[in-house]
Amino acid sequence: MPTKSCQRYEILQIDLSRPLEPLTVPPNACGVAFVIRADDRPVAYFMEALPAGTTIEPEALASKILEHAGKQILADRIFKELRGPLDASRFPRLDIAICTHNRPETLARCLSSLRDVGARWESGRTRVLVIDNAPSDNRTEEVVRNFAGVVYVREPKPGLDFARNRALAECTGDLLAFLDDDVVVDRCWLTGLQEAWAANPDAGAFTGPILPFELETKAQIVFEQMGGFGKSFERVRFGARLPESPTYPCGAGIFGAGANMVFSRAALERLGGFDEALDTGAPLPGGGDLDIFYRIVLAGYPLVRESNLVVYHQHRREYKQLRHQMWTWGLGTMAYLVKCWRQNPAERASIRCWTVWWLCYQLSKISIPHLRKSGGRWPIDMVIAELAGAVVGICGQYDRSVARIARLRRRFA
């Protein structure tokens, strides 16, 4: 078990264009998380528990970087060389939608990170929308007023997917990006998207790695140690089938997560937008992103996981919040699976296989090898929360949610 003092990890950005220097773990930290950048692009993320005051020599650091990032650095350069120069002049119009609910401070942070990357961007072809979802006051509107050019839209029906569909209705660009209000985009986010689109103009969706914004509390560290969001830096272009994967595409977690996703507007409109019964606030707060990824690939659109499309997400700070989040993940995942099961009888074999895999994966989190890897914290309460959520999700939560949003629609009609 961690000691009382072990409450934060230092996040270090290592830029490989500069020579490596010895690093010292700060006195108030119990570990370090590394974000490695090569050619200014993020190429790897890894974390390690280290006692405060430890010095990491360049030799040790270099061998860790080679282990985690070596292959990707080389693959990136080979890709650039084989691909040749890129014509980025014909990037389509982009709308970036941030759906928010009563979090003006984090929203302001997200907007300023976008302004910073937008400054390097030709203006006029990129638009930022803030979808204020069922706000209880005017604070969000006031924050948005400080950012010139940001469009404010109010969506009264409470529910994330109501807000997302509102963004789709308001969208005028060819691409529609969704960011959570608690993320900050990396400085290469827009260029990454531009390059990914230039290579895959036919893609229905783009996703990218979601790294931690801070690791200041036990809950945030535990969340990352349990795997966090997807952090694969491998470029993959997914299709409706993936060879050698019996659980594909129903295990939609490999695609990415809703905090960082970009869609082609035409694809979203053809699919009829997001399923509003998922991601609807307290009763069923999850699964909407998995559902849309799944439908995108099943409809035959390529889904591109792009390594340069990086955001930093502020995880839940309180342990109780984290436990609740795990509960919602279990709930959302299973509600999404119930929906898939009903609507795609042809995919049932992969759904069954994936459900079993998911259960084994949850149990593996409390197995001894996993403990050894994650530094010894036993997240049994987290696993129980997720499994409990899953049980509720299987037992009719999707139907209850469908009935509930029908009432909501009537009320706001």
Query: Which pair of tokens denotes residue 406?
Result: 């029908």
Between 134 and 236, CB nearer to other proteins: 236
3-state secondary structure of 10: strand
246 binds other proteins (CB under 8 A): yes
356 binds other proteins (CB under 8 A): yes
Query: Which pair of tokens denotes residue 234?
Result: 């491998």
Smallest gap, in angstroms, from Cβ of residue 367 to other proteins? 14
Choosing from 22, 74, 342, 367, the residue that interacts with other proteins (CB under 8 A) is: 74
388 binds other proteins (CB under 8 A): no
Half-sphere exposure for 327 (CA within 13 Å, toward CB): 13
Smallest gap, in angstroms, from Cβ of residue 307 to other proteins? 10
Q: Which residues contact 46 (CB under 8 A, 6 or more apart)?
A: 33, 34, 64, 68
180 binds other proteins (CB under 8 A): no
200 binds other proteins (CB under 8 A): yes
Contact 264, 156 (CB under 8 A): no
Smallest gap, in angstroms, from Cβ of residue 78 to other proteins? 4
Choosing from 77, 145, 342, 348, the residue that interacts with other proteins (CB under 8 A) is: 77
Between 3 and 17, CB nearer to other proteins: 17
Between 38 and 278, CB nearer to other proteins: 38
Query: Which pair of tokens denotes residue 193?
Result: 């998207």
Part of the chain binding other proteins (CB under 8 A), chosen from 77-85, 154-162, 217-225, 283-291 = 77-85
Distance CA 292, CA 285 (A): 15
242 binds other proteins (CB under 8 A): yes
Distance CA 37, CA 9 (A): 19
Half-sphere exposure for 79 (CA within 13 Å, toward CB): 15
Choosing from 12, 151, 226, 240, the residue that interacts with other proteins (CB under 8 A) is: 240
Smallest gap, in angstroms, from Cβ of residue 199 to other proteins? 4
241 binds other proteins (CB under 8 A): yes
Identity of the residue numbered 310? V
Smallest gap, in angstroms, from Cβ of residue 365 to other proteins? 17
Between 130 and 205, CB nearer to other proteins: 205
* Distance in angstroms between the alpha carbons of the first and the last residue of the chain: 53
Q: What are the Cα distances from residue 266, in Å, to 165, 179, 204, 296, 301?
A: 13, 19, 8, 11, 11
85 binds other proteins (CB under 8 A): no
For the chain, give the number of residues. 413
Part of the chain binding other proteins (CB under 8 A), chosen from 193-201, 206-214, 274-282, 313-321 = 193-201
65 binds other proteins (CB under 8 A): yes
Smallest gap, in angstroms, from Cβ of residue 187 to other proteins? 20
Choosing from 142, 234, 318, 381, the residue that interacts with other proteins (CB under 8 A) is: 234
Q: Is the dihedral of CA 342, 347, 353, 354 positive or negative?
A: negative
Between 70 and 158, CB nearer to other proteins: 70
According to CB under 8 A, which residues from 299 to 318 bind other proteins? 300, 302
Distance CA 275, CA 406 (A): 12
Half-sphere exposure for 276 (CA within 13 Å, toward CB): 19
Choosing from 1, 82, 148, 346, the residue that interacts with other proteins (CB under 8 A) is: 82
Choosing from 103, 115, 139, 235, the residue that interacts with other proteins (CB under 8 A) is: 235
Read off φ and ψ for residue 39, nearest 5 degrees: 50, 35
Smallest gap, in angstroms, from Cβ of residue 315 to other proteins? 29
3-state secondary structure of 385: helix
Identity of the residue numbered 80? K
Distance CA 9, CA 219 (A): 11
Smallest gap, in angstroms, from Cβ of residue 57 to other proteins? 9
What is the Cα Rg of the chain in Å?
21
387 binds other proteins (CB under 8 A): no
Query: Are β-strands 205-207 and 260-264 bridged in parallel, bridged antiparallel, or unpaired?
Result: antiparallel
Q: Hey, which residues does 250 pair with through a beta bridge?
A: none
Smallest gap, in angstroms, from Cβ of residue 383 to other proteins? 18
75 binds other proteins (CB under 8 A): yes
Binding residues for other proteins, rule: CB under 8 A, are 16-17, 20, 38, 58-60, 62-63, 65-66, 70-79, 81-84, 86, 198-200, 234-244, 246, 300, 302, 349, 353, 356-357, 360
